[in-house]
Amino acid sequence: MLLTYLEASRDLCETDSILFGAALAVCRIIGAKLPMAGRATQQSSAIPAWRKRIEDRIAKARALIGRLTSFRSGNNRPRVMRTVRMAFSGTNISLAQPDITQKLTERIDDLKQKIATWGKWIRRFSERSRRFNQNRLYQSDQKRLYKSLERPEVCGAGPGPDQADTVAFWRGLWSEPVNHSEGPWMEVVASQSASVTPMDPVTITPETWLRRSVGPRTGKVRGSTGCIITG
């Protein structure tokens, strides 16, 4: 049956449509699952499970901080009291003890430190995931990676700079004389080195190099510094 349709095909587009329809029919007959249209090119926007768990922890900790702060301010409603008792469950801390305000402050600070740590986890894991995806995309499609790194609001915003202004800018940086202010430590070093006798100038001629490099016939050559080099 497919051969009949292919023989009647008049161009490449019609042949492509026939083959696609045949493949779709076979997949439906055998019960194969077909991907949704455009699914392969779209990135998943779902939040990863690990990030969702950490964000839930942060939300619960912030809610608990709010209840503890409210209780410390004098709110004794049943819901607030129940939350405070749950926060100190499993400890020897009683809400009637004199230093309960200090214990509340310590508990709030502990929760704030945990929130900061969880936030660092999210940022570190997100950065690692971003770098991993970029490295994998670089190995498969470099053009797509560079296109994703472009920022349209910066790269394509407005016309380019004027050529005369660009030339004037760089000429002002490299062609204009600049007086650098030398630090006081340079003057100190110069004064300390004033008593040092300068070394006599040394003129190296080809004859000097030849005389220093040619040594006895023992397979050893004397270098320019006078050291013997074994050949």
Q: What is the pLDDT of residues 83-93, one digit of tens each?
A: 888 888 778 78
CA distance linking residue 31 with residue 24, whole number of Å: 10
Output 138-143 pairs: Cβ under 8 A, ≥24 positions apart: none
For 226, the token pair is: 């006078």
**pLDDT at residue 114, as a whole number:** 93
Mean pLDDT of 51-66: 92
Backbone torsions φ then ψ of 8, nearest 5 degrees: -85, -5
Comparison of pLDDT for 103 and 90, the residue scoring more: 103
Return all residues near 223 (Cβ < 8 A) that are at least 6 apart.
212, 213, 229
User: Helix, strand, coil proportions of the chain in percent (round to 5)?
Assistant: 60, 5, 35
Question: Over the chain, what is the mean pLDDT?
Answer: 79
Mean pLDDT of 2-30: 79
Mean pLDDT of 180-202: 83
Q: Specify the range with the lowest mean pLDDT, choosing from 18-27, 108-117, 213-222.
A: 213-222
SS3 8: coil
Residue-by-residue DSSP string for 25-87: HHHHHHTPPPPPTTTTTSPP-PPPHHHHHHHHHHHHHHHHHHHHHHHHTT---HHHHHHHHHH
pLDDT higher than 70, residue 192: yes
Q: Specify the range with the lowest mean pLDDT, choosing from 34-38, 44-48, 121-125, 195-199.
A: 34-38
CB 57 within 8 A of CB 118: yes
Helix (H) / strand (E) element for 224: namely: none
**pLDDT at residue 159, as a whole number:** 74
pLDDT band at 75 (very low <50, low <70, confident <90, very high): confident
pLDDT band at 215 (very low <50, low <70, confident <90, very high): low
pLDDT band at 154 (very low <50, low <70, confident <90, very high): low
What number of other Cβ atoms are within 10 A of residue 90's Cβ? 7
Q: Specify the range with the lowest mean pLDDT, choosing from 46-55, 125-134, 195-204, 219-228.
A: 219-228
Q: Specify the range with the lowest mean pLDDT, choosing from 21-35, 66-80, 205-219.
A: 205-219
Per-residue b or e along 23-45, where b marks 16 or more CB atoms closer than 10 Å to that residue's CB? eeeeeeeeeeeeeeeeeeeeeee
- Give the residue extent of every domain in the chain: 1-34, 49-152
